[in-house]
Amino acid sequence: MNKIIDRYKDSIVQISTPFNFGSGFILNGWDLIITNYHVVKGNKEVVISGRNFKKKAVRVLYVDILQDIAFLEKPKSIEAEFPDLSEGPLNEGERVLAIGHPMSLNYTSTSGIISKVDREYNGIKYIQIDAPLNPGNSGGPLFNANAEVVGLNTMIIKEAENIGFALPFYYISENLDLYYSYQEKNSIRCSSCRRVQLIEELNNGYCSNCGHKFNLEEYDPPAYIPEGIVKKIEGVIAECGFDAVTSRSGPFFWELEQQGSIVKIVYSNKSKFVVFDVSTCLLPDDNIAMFYEFVLQQNYVLKNLTFSLKNNEILLSFLIFDDDFNTDACKELLKELMVKSNHYIRLFQERFLAKPININQQ
């Protein structure tokens, strides 16, 4: 199963929106990205990232709300080996591998077996697997031992450990076939008559075939406009020279990549604090006491920033209460964080032989 990960990880993308995050993947022979509708719900465009291309905003091209499937625009710059879609059959007891981005992490996988091939819920059949899926797995591929995609990772049950659900390959194939003649055009599949039609051809919001009333906020949502603290944070991001849209990594979460490190920005609705931090290094193997002493001394020297330890990572951070958020002051603090973090990254590696952070694993 590890060979499958190495072979196809470049075909799997991370998807971020202001409301959600998840995964998507590209199949051999198809110039689009496949994911779950619930991952991209409420968005005309989403941000994707991967191993061999930079973050990019892409359009949501097609949605089937009933089967929870969506297709996204695929950038021409993505070059990888893409997996084939299985043609079946599915067998209970068959080993499978779920790949995705749980909790916004890069390329994690979970292996298990198919415990039921046709578990039905709300009229839709699912593959039930004993591999525990996390929210970020949604939209990622489910592989069989032959490295074929047999399903689309879709659901978890919070009360049940080690159980996940995936849409079977035949739903993916069905939607691909229906969308074939509409490629690169914004289209939808009616949840009533199941016909595919272009957004622009809707009859005042009704299906032109069966008269079904569409919820256009689901099928053709308005463009996202940030408000409140999110608007302030994204204003600071833009003023520091970063693209606010492609910096989004999920709800109230942004990542700014600069000179081999990543500034992470997180807002907590519960505490009302905005936290900015950079992972500068891993703890060194030797002279840890001397290293700790130096870091504590720097906390005394630094006026606006603070070092802290998270697991074995040394973070440089600052935080602001949302009611105290001042755009100009925060912009200067963010600039200081970026400059100081680069300084300490070099210093820690040169003086203490601290281990560098692999930003591709953050």
Q: Which of 20, 37, 15 is nearest to 250 (CA)?
A: 20
Question: Is 104 among the catalytic positions?
Answer: no
Please pick, among 38, 86, 249, 317, the residue that the annotation labels catalytic: 38
Question: What is the SS3 assignment for 334?
Answer: helix
The answer to whether residue 38 is catalytic is yes
In this structure, are residues 196 and 179 in contact, taking their beta carbons and an 8 Å threshold?
yes
- The verdict on whether 64 is a catalytic residue reads no
Angle between helices 288-301 and 327-352 (to 10 degrees): 150
**Of 86, 109, 138, 261, catalytic:** 138
Residue 43 is encoded by which pair of tokens? 């968005």
Length of the chain: 362
| Extended strands (E) in the chain | 12-16, 21-25, 32-35, 45-50, 53-64, 69-73, 95-100, 108-121, 124-129, 141-144, 149-156, 164-168, 187-189, 196-198, 248-250, 253-258, 261-267, 273-282, 306-310, 313-321
Helix residue spans in the chain (DSSP H): 2-8, 37-40, 169-179, 216-219, 228-239, 244-247, 288-301, 327-352
Provide the annotated active-site residues: 38, 68, 138
